Amino acid sequence: MGYAVRIESAEVVITSPGRNFVTLRIVTEDGVTGLGDATLNGRELAVASYLRDHVVPLLLDRDASRIEDTWQYLYRGAYWRRGPVTMAAIAAVDTALWDIKAKAAGMPLYQLLGGASRSGALAYGHASGRDVPELLDSIRAHLAQGYRAIRVQTGIPGLASVYGVASSSAGGGERYDYEPARRGSGPRVLPAEESWDTRAYLRHVPTVFEAVRQEFGPELPLLHDGHHRMTPIQAARLGKALEPYDLFWLEDATPGEDQTALRLIRQHTTTPLAIGEVFNHVHDYTTLLSERLIDYVRSAVTHTGGVTAMRKLLDLAAVYGIKSGIHGPTDISPVGMAAALHLDLAIHNFGIQEYMPHTADTLEVFRTSFRFEDGLLHPSDTPGLGVELDTEAAGRFPYQPAYLPVNRLADGTVHDW
């Protein structure tokens, strides 16, 4: 590859094989192709425009080997910094350039990041049910698929639909095991609306974990996602109530915009805490890390500036003994998932990896080489990220407007979800 290689073209590909994805495809003058994930669930076209109209013209003829310089050029040169749209766009460029560099070197990306620190990345699956019996069946099914750690979500008595529960009836009554933004019908697509009752949730969840522990014993790692729905003191109450059931983590217990809110939760419970899937920059974490207010970093490579920025964030977390728990639902494309897995394999402070298998249609568009075996994920030894984009297949799945649901309290107030 030499010391310099010119970027010849950059293309933004939007496709919707069951859900919407935005992919940046960079090609160098010597024909090496790199892919980056720029998907921002429910706001995909904003990132596509940012890339197509503002970033791609800046990439042409730049040296593809200058990854750090390009990252700083795009971040600082825009003046308007941070935010999910900007950081997803930068992430796509950064990840694509790492893909190119690793392919040119003839190595899987994790080798360029320092080599493997483990044989595979422990993954957790998403088990859910409208009630406890259905949840227990879902856990059994995930264990049969090889998962060694399980996220537990359940319906709440009195609520017709709860985000994160696959059997939820909102949005047309379909199962949504892969938690997509729901597609509406008619000329104008609007988000589905779900009702929420925090007090009912706080009463119910400890009884769910009691039933799960009685059925599956003390050894199975169990996780739970609060989806930002609690105030700090409510989250502290839940964390305390869940201590007898030894959770691997309680995720997104309260909205993360106020980092100091985690101080109150930490004062009242020893349940491990994870947060960060809606964060997009290291500065979202500085208080949380330096005061050890969390145990796991939940950002996605796709939304946090790419491989370059995510590696720096996780290295900073390691200084404080905090581990990774990279965000990995199916609104992260296989490109973004592969990037996460290469980091998982290389970093010292790996904790766990979220994993939801993509649909057959998605895997027709994105040809992957990573694998899930015996509860562990491995990015494969294919040079680069190990994912290729079938542009012809992508063209068969046009974009469709879709949005995440909106939560409302009984009085009609819009609530966090």
User: Which residues are the active-site residues?
Assistant: 163, 227
| β-pairing verdict for 371-373 and 376-378 | antiparallel
- What is the C-alpha to C-alpha distance for residues 101 and 374, in angstroms, rounded to an integer? 31
Pick from 308, 352, 360, 296: nearest CA to 330: 360
Residue 108 belongs to what H/E stretch? none
Sequence-ordered list of residues with C-beta below 8 angstroms from that of 412, at least 6 positions apart, any chain: none
Strands of 193-195's sheet, edge to edge?
193-195, 406-408, 414-415
Strands of 7-15's sheet, edge to edge?
7-15, 21-28, 33-37
Residue 391 belongs to what H/E stretch? helix 391-395
Strands in 155-258 per DSSP E = 193-195, 222-225, 249-251
Return the half-sphere exposure (C-beta side, CA atoms, 13 A cut-off) of residue 327. Answer: 26
CB 189 within 8 A of CB 118: no
| β-pairing verdict for 222-225 and 149-154 | parallel
Q: Which residue has the tokens 């007898």?
A: 244
- Measured in whole angstroms, how far is the alpha carbon of residue 417 from the centre of its chain? 16
Burial class (CB in 10 A: 0-12, 13-18, 19+), 244: exposed
Q: Which residue has the tokens 């920025």?
A: 309
Other CB atoms within 10 Å distance of the CB of residue 175:
10
- What is the C-alpha to C-alpha distance for residues 124 and 142, in angstroms, rounded to an integer? 9
Alpha helical stretches, state H, 193-346: 198-216, 232-242, 261-268, 286-290, 306-319, 334-346
CB 87 within 8 A of CB 336: no
CB 149 within 8 A of CB 374: no
